[in-house]
Amino acid sequence: MVHAKLAEADIQEVIRQTGIDLSALPPVMSTDQLARVLGISVGALAQDRYRRSGIPYVKIGRRVRYLRGDVAQYLVTHRNGNDGAA
């Protein structure tokens, strides 16, 4: 499965660039789980969803879930600051 391989590569890139280890998270996580890992509030994630910005999510009925691969890809593509060039 190509998508799964890309997601794993993204996860490794997040760990390398940010030090945030998403590999310990389940492939599909709740808002509470993601908020704890990122050190932000559940309300901040809800606000991003309301504004249609932020990390992509999946709705299952009324439940909101985040895919580990989407989180990793979002963190890598939205990273700002020093690119490591000296």
* Residue of 33 and 75 predicted with greater confidence: 33
Residues 36-43 have a mean pLDDT of 92
**pLDDT at residue 5, rounded to an integer:** 57
Query: How is domain 2-77 classified at the CATH fold level?
Result: Arc Repressor Mutant, subunit A (1.10.10)
**pLDDT at residue 83, rounded to an integer:** 56
Q: Is the pTM of this model over 0.75?
A: no
Helices (H), 1-86: 2-18, 31-38, 42-51, 68-77
Average pLDDT, the chain: 82
Query: Per residue in 72-82, pLDDT tens?
Result: 888 878 877 65
**pLDDT at residue 74, rounded to an integer:** 86
